[in-house]
Structure 1
């Protein structure tokens, strides 16, 4: 398992952006990087630096995705006809933990990974415990009956912090993945630049 869960707020501060749009993000009060050198003036980034930053931001947004896994998603996206960046976003949004987060079953992407891993989720009536499972159009994702009264689930469902996107329909603790979204449809709190991610891997 990635160690990123224990240092998730460092991602926000390193990027200088509240990438999940959370009220508790330290970026809201400290808009400089973590560590003793965080307040130093930042130099101008090279093209490579800009592309790397875009890749780290997109990968970091989805929580505990490893570099190897993310690289595999890029290669899968590049192998399809059309816009590679759009395909990459579509693949990331099809991850089961991403759908669980989008459906507001849990409050964070990190909680979504743990929630799925612990067996609290069903896909088309069958238990699924792999966060990277690829959801297909029309799949029904629901919280197991025994898990529906968990405080985390109740809190997330009532949170006004974010809305469920149009490509997922939700009824209580049951969601249907309607279609693979385009970049414009994904409710990122900050601007994501998959075109720069494509440039990074194409070097």
Structure 2
């Protein structure tokens, strides 16, 4: 299954909750999900009871869509996490959060992970002073992230829209367009509303 390329709001309606895929707009009254939360063609129908498998599948799909990954990419992260001695769920989300596109989003330099991927892909981000154009690049503790001159106007526009944004504890914003990975993110520091045990159960079936 490939990456979702259609309208973002349809994804939220399918999952029956806001996934905040469009940044600031999702928190305003302009958000289409707030006006019409039912999935297309299903308004007025009685909700069907989902099977245990369906519940686990939906949670996995929700996580995959939040981070904007293909099925193959997500499964690869899970396989790597399950091979570690630590908690599979803990490692899975640590890997997902340490993707460069996610770090750029979490730092508040852009308003969505989708925008972050575009900025990274077009060479708008430096890691330890070197341009990195691979969205899946995994940052390490101590890495310095900086917005390149070409992407500064985008960042400034976003920061005007979100003046009160606060980065997570594991990521320190050290200056305008600069951030540092202070530590490896822990699951308790990640605000993604996912029941991760359901994902583990899905792949363990």
TM-score (norm 2): 0.89
* Contact 1:138-1:178 within 8 A present in 2 as well: yes
Task: Give, in angstroms, the shift of residue 82 of structure 1.
Answer: 2.1
| Structure 2 residue 61 is the aligned partner of structure 1 residue 60 | no
| Structure 2 residue 42 is the aligned partner of structure 1 residue 37 | yes
Q: Counterpart in 1 of 2:169?
A: 166
Whole-angstrom CA distance in 1 between matches of 2:57 and 2:3: 20
Runs of 4+ with >3 A deviation: none
Q: Counterpart in 2 of 1:123?
A: 127
Distance 1:47 1:162, change over 3 A: farther
Task: Give, in angstroms, the shift of residue 179 of structure 1.
Answer: 1.4
Whole-angstrom CA distance in 1 between matches of 2:165 and 2:61: 23
* Contact 2:3-2:71 within 8 A present in 1 as well: no
Q: Counterpart in 2 of 1:10?
A: 10
Q: Runs of 5+ in structure 2 lacking a partner?
A: none
Whole-angstrom CA distance in 2 between matches of 1:140 and 1:47: 43
* Contact 1:115-1:121 within 8 A present in 2 as well: yes
Distance 1:118 1:45, change over 3 A: same
TM-score (norm 1): 0.90
Q: Counterpart in 1 of 2:51?
A: 46
Higher relative contact order (CA 8 A, sep 6+): 1
Q: Please list, as runs of the form range in 1=range in 2, the aligned pairs for 1:1-203 lying within 5 A after superposition.
A: 4-20=4-20, 22-23=26-27, 24-33=30-39, 35-63=40-68, 65-148=69-152, 150=153, 152-158=154-160, 159-160=162-163, 162-170=165-173, 171-188=175-192, 191-203=193-205
* Contact 1:86-1:182 within 8 A present in 2 as well: yes
| Alignment: residue pair count | 196
Whole-angstrom CA distance in 2 between matches of 1:29 and 1:43: 22
Whole-angstrom CA distance in 2 between matches of 1:161 and 1:71: 35
RMSD of Structure 2 on Structure 1 (CA)? 1.7
Q: Runs of 5+ in structure 1 lacking a partner?
A: none
